[in-house]
Structure 1
Amino acid sequence: MPVASLLLFSAAALGLLALAVQFLFVLRHRPRSHQALPRAATASPGISILKPLCGVDDDLEANLEQFATLDYPRYEVILGVKDRTDPAYALARAAVARWPHVMKLALQEGEPGLNPKVNQLITLSAEARYDLWVISDSNVRVSPGYLQEIADGFEDLDTGCVTHPIAGVGERTVGSLMDNLHLASSAAAGVITAKHLAGKDIVVGKSMALRREDVEALGGFFSVKDVLAEDFVIGLWITRKLGKRVVVARTPVFNVSLRKRVGDFFKRYLRWSVIHHMSVSTPTYLAQGLLNPAPLALLAALLAPSPETLSMAGAVACLKALLDVAVFRLLRPEPVSWGALPVVFLKDALLFVAWFNGLFSRTVQWRGTRLHVLPGTRLATAAVPSSPALVPAEVTAREELLAG
């Protein structure tokens, strides 16, 4: 067998081992059932949920209804819309009219930065009544006891952030199934494993709880107005600048994806690959390619085609699919058919192309705007060349941003 083929098969085997370790950490981390965790007899501080809206997500009305009826004594939901032309504006007004005791609407004031979500958070945080803030995406649903688990996490004064693993629910198309699968098997599993195995904090903006005083100590959301991965950067600043810790909740939040097309999934992860590469070092980004071992094994087999090497590649792909679906089943309340296994093969092929794109591309198309992503995921308008070499000055810039 050629050396290149042997190295690729070895890399694929190492990737499978890493994925098996992730599965074990997810198994250990999750609650014993998808029911609410027992509540401790603790205080229930007031919580302001900041929920930026942009367009009409799948099942948005039902998502908002759930947040209007959470089992927590003292909270508010502030819905953010950029302006009255946004399709979500009418739904937001209807939600406020239906649940005026819980919900209110805030129109974005100005456009201070290049990150549209952060622009809304600047307005929403100014409207918040309470001092404990939960940033919650519009396409998210949660488990019973969600807010109490967050409040319990902040009983420790050393806690600066509570974040949640993500699982996807509701898929009716192949694109949504791929999206939901990947969020659980990669994003959630990665957050959990990084925390328990390496003590690394990866904060996910779909559900991110912070104290008002800590956000203000970091310069407010204004400090990340031109950063694309604002959740990741805020999480790092919480630990590095404030010396506080990040808690990964045991119960996941659920990303609702019903009718996404395969092309939508691919475009999202083309963008995500650029963001991710610009938030970590290039060696780390390369190493994370091991977590998609099936394409590596296929390349190894193509370099030395034979019945044996093709069988080995097939075995790697099947084991990877089994691990993905197993993690997916662990993290979400809905049943998952093992018929989802073949979808993993297509998902992994598209993700490999997206990962390769992330090695070279530095521009993303986001909400109608073409943006250039600089080290640390700082944003600039895309007048800069799209694929610059990563020079030492850029590495230093990334380290300065992430270190705060």
Structure 2
Amino acid sequence: MPLASALLLFAACFGLTALLVQYALVLRHRRERAPTLPPGAPRPGISILKPLCGADDDLEANLEHFARLDYAGAYEVVLGVRDHRDSAFPVARAAVARWPHVFRLALQEGTPGLNPKVNQLVTLADHARYDVFVISDSNTRVGPGYLEEIAAGFADPTVGCVTHPVAGIGERTFGSLLDNLYLASSAAAGMIGAKRFANQDIVVGKSMALRREDVESLGGFFSVRDVLAEDYVIGQWVTRKLGRRVVVARTPVFNVSLGKSVGAFFQRYLRWSVIHRTAVTPPTYLAQSLLNPAPLAVFGAMLNPSPRTGVLALAVVVGKVLVDLAAFRALRPQPVPAWAPPAVLVKDVLLYVAWWHGLFFRTVEWRGTRLRVGAGTRLMARARASAVDTSLAPQDEWAAS
């Protein structure tokens, strides 16, 4: 038991050190100026492809935000819905009526694959007017200079993809706070840290920009129609198949989460654990557990209880809370709420359980259907369909987004 305790405590300390390094990289990334094009330089036309599925939190306000982007070039927002029964359809139609010079609406044409988001992207790409695609989820908002930074990135011909870290904003419930904490302190910080420390690309479909010609060279969005983590896979293909670089933008995009329940948060990250496990190698997935060091420290102290192990475990737990809150604050414009410290602890416990789930399970419950996920997050086969029509589930049910 003392040896097992020592190993767990050492792993926890190592993980906390890695998180501190990651946080330093986040600060460095945020302090660097975003690249810009000179005034008067030509800007590419940009088509923002925005698949909708259900009425997200503050959907009308989210769309209005994209109607007034500060960009010196031409841009459009192509809204996609599966069909007119979707609760997002009247919202999208109202946006088109209000801002016809910006928004257009496209109904999904056919169902080429098992990934519903990609099914919409296939249609949206066909309707896009311009040659730079920006895939943007319906529950996101962006900061000033969003399109300008994307355009500046593509001024370099070696760049094949521009993606953005994601921070959560707007929490009104404890579940949404858990969600927003995870997006900033784990997903966004990990994305920045992986790029800056190891030059590893983690592309996030909340905001992902690609040239039309590169998408077509990869076989179009149709090529990932049966892939759960299409964003991550496309990012890997950009470098491996096209030989181009992925750029992580300096400014985050903001995921709006207002009223999520704790149960909905947990179910979402059970699915994400399966995505992570099938997207990376087993050693990488095992190493990811080190980035949640608090449970390791607590178990280490429990195996060999003593004042020394107790103090060390407490130091790791407190350190993890502080570094998460610091990253949370660094990546979003809103202040950290007073109830965030206990939320970090709850989040880490639930994510630890989800990590173990991903270690042993390969199926996901996705919109009333059980699907098996294979290597590379490829969707294998439909095993069971629900008798309930869940085709109009909310956008959060895009498990790959």
Give the TM-score band, short-chain normalised.
over 0.9
Query: In the alignment, is residue 52 of structure 1 matched against residue 47 of structure 2?
Result: no
CA distance in 2, matches of 1:164, 1:299: 35
Q: Deviation of residue 367 (structure 1)?
A: 2.3
CA RMSD of aligned residues (A): 1.5
CA distance in 1, matches of 2:364, 2:38: 44
Post-superposition Cα deviations, 1:346-403, rounded to whole Å, max 9, x if no partner, equal: 000000000000000101112222211000000022439xxxxxxxxxxxxxxxxxxx
Structure-2 residue corresponding to 1:160: 160
> Bigger relative contact order, structure 1 or 2, given CA contacts below 8 A and separation 6+?
2
Helix, strand or coil for the counterpart of 2:279?
coil
Q: 1:217 to 1:143 in 2, by over 3 A?
A: same
Helix, strand or coil for the counterpart of 1:227?
coil
Q: Deviation of residue 312 (structure 1)?
A: 2.2
Structure-2 residue corresponding to 1:226: 226
Q: Deviation of residue 160 (structure 1)?
A: 0.4
Structure-2 residue corresponding to 1:299: 299
CA distance in 2, matches of 1:49, 1:38: 19
CA distance in 1, matches of 2:382, 2:13: 39
Structure-2 residue corresponding to 1:70: 69
Structure-2 residue corresponding to 1:146: 146
Structure-2 residue corresponding to 1:394: none
Helix, strand or coil for the counterpart of 1:278?
helix
Structure-2 residue corresponding to 1:84: 84
CA distance in 1, matches of 2:31, 2:69: 20
CA distance in 2, matches of 1:265, 1:275: 15
Helix, strand or coil for the counterpart of 1:133?
strand
CA distance in 1, matches of 2:150, 2:58: 25
Q: Deviation of residue 305 (structure 1)?
A: 2.3
Post-superposition Cα deviations, 1:239-288, rounded to whole Å, max 9, x if no partner, equal: 00010001110000000001111111100100000001000011110001
Structure-1 residue corresponding to 2:60: 61
CA distance in 1, matches of 2:174, 2:306: 32
CA distance in 2, matches of 1:337, 1:57: 23
Post-superposition Cα deviations, 1:203-237, rounded to whole Å, max 9, x if no partner, equal: 11000000000000000000000000000000010
Post-superposition Cα deviations, 1:105-157, rounded to whole Å, max 9, x if no partner, equal: 10101100000000000000000000000000000000011001100000001
Q: Which AA in structure 2 matches 1:61?
A: E
TM-score w.r.t. structure 2 length? Answer: 0.93
CA distance in 2, matches of 1:368, 1:314: 42
Helix, strand or coil for the counterpart of 2:210?
strand
Q: Which AA in structure 1 matches 2:209?
A: A
Helix, strand or coil for the counterpart of 1:381?
strand
Q: Deviation of residue 335 (structure 1)?
A: 1.2
Q: 1:31 to 1:60 in 2, by over 3 A?
A: farther
Q: Which AA in structure 2 matches 1:68?
A: A
Query: In the alignment, is residue 16 of structure 1 matched against residue 36 of structure 2?
Result: no
Q: Which AA in structure 1 matches 2:153?
A: G
Structure-2 residue corresponding to 1:402: none
Helix, strand or coil for the counterpart of 2:370?
strand
Q: Deviation of residue 311 (structure 1)?
A: 2.8
CA distance in 2, matches of 1:32, 1:261: 36
TM-score w.r.t. structure 1 length? Answer: 0.92
TM alignment of 1:335-354, pairs within 5 A: 335-337=335-337, 339-354=339-354
Helix, strand or coil for the counterpart of 2:104?
strand
CA distance in 2, matches of 1:161, 1:368: 33
**Cα contact 1:31–1:251 (8 A) shared by 2:** no
Structure-1 residue corresponding to 2:253: 253
Helix, strand or coil for the counterpart of 1:51?
strand
Q: Which AA in structure 1 matches 2:38?
A: A
- How many residues are matched? 382
**Cα contact 1:40–1:152 (8 A) shared by 2:** no
Query: In the alignment, is residue 200 of structure 1 matched against residue 197 of structure 2?
Result: no
Structure-2 residue corresponding to 1:280: 280
Post-superposition Cα deviations, 1:57-100, rounded to whole Å, max 9, x if no partner, equal: 11111000001111124100000001111111111111111111
Q: Deviation of residue 37 (structure 1)?
A: 7.1
Post-superposition Cα deviations, 1:310-360, rounded to whole Å, max 9, x if no partner, equal: 332222111001000000100111111354111100000000000000000
Q: Which AA in structure 1 matches 2:356?
A: F
Q: 1:109 to 1:256 in 2, by over 3 A?
A: same
Bigger mean CA offset, 337-346 vs 130-139? 337-346
Structure-2 residue corresponding to 1:131: 131
CA distance in 2, matches of 1:29, 1:333: 16
Query: In the alignment, is residue 217 of structure 1 matched against residue 217 of structure 2?
Result: yes
CA distance in 2, matches of 1:38, 1:135: 20
Post-superposition Cα deviations, 1:28-61, rounded to whole Å, max 9, x if no partner, equal: 001469xx87653332211000000011111111
Structure-2 residue corresponding to 1:237: 237
**Cα contact 1:363–1:382 (8 A) shared by 2:** no
CA distance in 1, matches of 2:35, 2:321: 30
**Cα contact 1:114–1:380 (8 A) shared by 2:** no
CA distance in 2, matches of 1:138, 1:69: 15
Q: Which AA in structure 1 matches 2:52?
A: L
Q: Where does structure 1 lack aligned partners over 5 or more consecutive residues?
A: 385-404
Q: Which AA in structure 2 matches 1:273?
A: S
**Cα contact 1:166–1:252 (8 A) shared by 2:** yes
CA distance in 2, matches of 1:342, 1:186: 16
Helix, strand or coil for the counterpart of 1:180?
helix
Structure-2 residue corresponding to 1:40: 38
